[in-house]
Amino acid sequence: MSQPPRVDLRSDTVTQPTAAMREAMSAAPLGDDVFGDDPSVNALQAELAEMLGFEAALFMPTGTQSNLCALMSHCQRGEEYIVGQYAHTYRWEGGGAAVLGSIQPQPIAHAPDGSLPLDEVEAQIKPDDAHFARTRLLALENTIGGKVLPMDYLAAASALAQRRGLARHLDGARLFNAAVAIDAAEPYAAARRICSHFDSVSVCFSKGLGAPVGSVLCGSREFIQRAHRWRKMSGGGLRQAGLLAAAAQHALHHHVRRLADDHALARRLAEGLQGLPGLSVEAPQTNIVFADVAPERAAGLIEHLKARGVLATGLYRLRFVIHLDVDAVGVERAIAAVRDYFLGA
Ligand SMILES: *Cc1c(COP(=O)(O)O)cnc(C)c1O
């Protein structure tokens, strides 16, 4: 008996490039990007910068490197950035800003909606005193844990940062998920509105947008020049990177609006998991569904799902991520596998 294909909900990074994306890659004109000669890289950078309202942009191998170069371009040795406890730039990047940049994070707890309470942000800004690291930057993430930071929150956070002389960085790995959630009809305009509150933004193409590799960092011309130096120093100067940039540009043109389909499937998944004894599901805002498992039911659940061809991560808190390579049939299979586990079929 042939097995149905796996439903891989571990991450939106597991996507395979589509046939059309591979075609765009193979047709891409190439050059040596260390010389600034790759037309496909230059086209992606110019288009994204223009689209999001920045002077310049820089293609990066990974989102981690993009955030690192951004933090190191905003902060000097002995300076600090204010960041959320669960932000990627603090918790999930191996401490790179501290290790490689000598930059100190000042993490603070998130509010339930994922935002950083602004009174707490302000309370953590250090006075100019030799005892303290100099506070230089506010780093936010959107979406954060699949949640969209409200636009009026971004405006208020941005105003606070500007009033207190802090630069503003957005880890927008899933910027376009946030944009589509805010305005599915005009997602590019929504992305630009989000970005208007930041001095720099990093966008991942290897998540829900479905490219195999790549992030782009956006900012002022002068900021991107500094980031370019850090990228080279950290080993991120790529040569014929247009192969990858072409995939990202294809995603930018063809895979943004369809994120709405992922969000709809995430809602369907959450709906299908509602009301099971021992499982508590959070209503998703974008493409990520979290479900809390009663501790006594946790052991064995991931294995059960795997045996049913459904891959997910977590133990007490399951994470299901919808992406380009998941369809409605796959979501129904995932729902059935989880239901069987909790209903004991
Ligand atoms: C995935 C991710 C990154 C970094 O991406 P890599 O390309 O895996 O280094 C940064 N921030 C957030 C929020 C992410 O989800």
Mutate to test the pocket of ligand 1, among 66, 86, 88 (most ligand atoms within 8 A of CB): 88
Q: Is 116 left (phi over 0), alpha (psi -120 to 50) or beta?
A: beta
Q: How far is the CA of 16 from the centre of ligand 1 (A)?
A: 17
Query: d(Cα 244, Cα 173) in Å, to the nearest integer?
Result: 17
- Residue 206 CA: which ligand 1 atom is closest? 7
Q: Which of 129, 152, 149, 127 is nearest to 140 (CA)?
A: 149
In a structure prediction context, what are the per-residue pLDDT tens digits for the chain, which is 345 residues long? 567 789 999 999 999 999 999 999 999 999 999 999 999 999 999 999 999 999 999 999 999 999 999 999 999 999 999 999 999 999 999 999 999 999 999 999 999 999 999 999 999 999 999 999 999 999 999 999 999 999 999 999 999 999 999 999 999 999 999 999 999 999 999 999 999 999 999 999 999 999 999 999 999 999 999 999 999 999 999 999 999 999 999 999 999 999 999 999 999 999 999 999 999 999 999 999 999 999 999 999 999 999 999 999 999 999 999 999 999 999 999 999 999 999 986
Q: How far is the CA of 229 from the centre of ligand 1 (A)?
A: 21
Contact in structure between 61 and 286 (CB atoms under 8 Å): no
Task: Return the structure tokens found at 251.
Answer: 């995603």
Mutate to test the pocket of ligand 1, among 15, 64, 66 (most ligand atoms within 8 A of CB): 64
Mutate to test the pocket of ligand 1, among 204, 215, 238 (most ligand atoms within 8 A of CB): 204
Q: Which of 285, 337, 291, 297 is nearest to 318 (CA)?
A: 291
- Residue 62 CA: which ligand 1 atom is closest? 7
What pLDDT, on the 0 to 100 scale, is given for residue 90? 98
Q: How far is the CA of 339 from the centre of ligand 1 (A)?
A: 31
What pLDDT, on the 0 to 100 scale, is given for residue 4? 74
Task: Return the structure tokens found at 284.
Answer: 């998703």
Q: Where do the structural domains in the chain lie, given as residue ranges?
A: 19-254, 258-343
Query: d(Cα 300, Cα 341) in Å, to the nearest integer?
Result: 9
Burial class (CB in 10 A: 0-12, 13-18, 19+), 188: middle
What CATH superfamily is the domain 258-343?
Aspartate Aminotransferase, domain 1 (3.90.1150.10)
Task: Return the structure tokens found at 283.
Answer: 């209503």
Query: d(Cα 235, Cα 309) in Å, to the nearest integer?
Result: 38
The answer as to CATH 3.40.640.10 being correct for domain 19-254 is yes
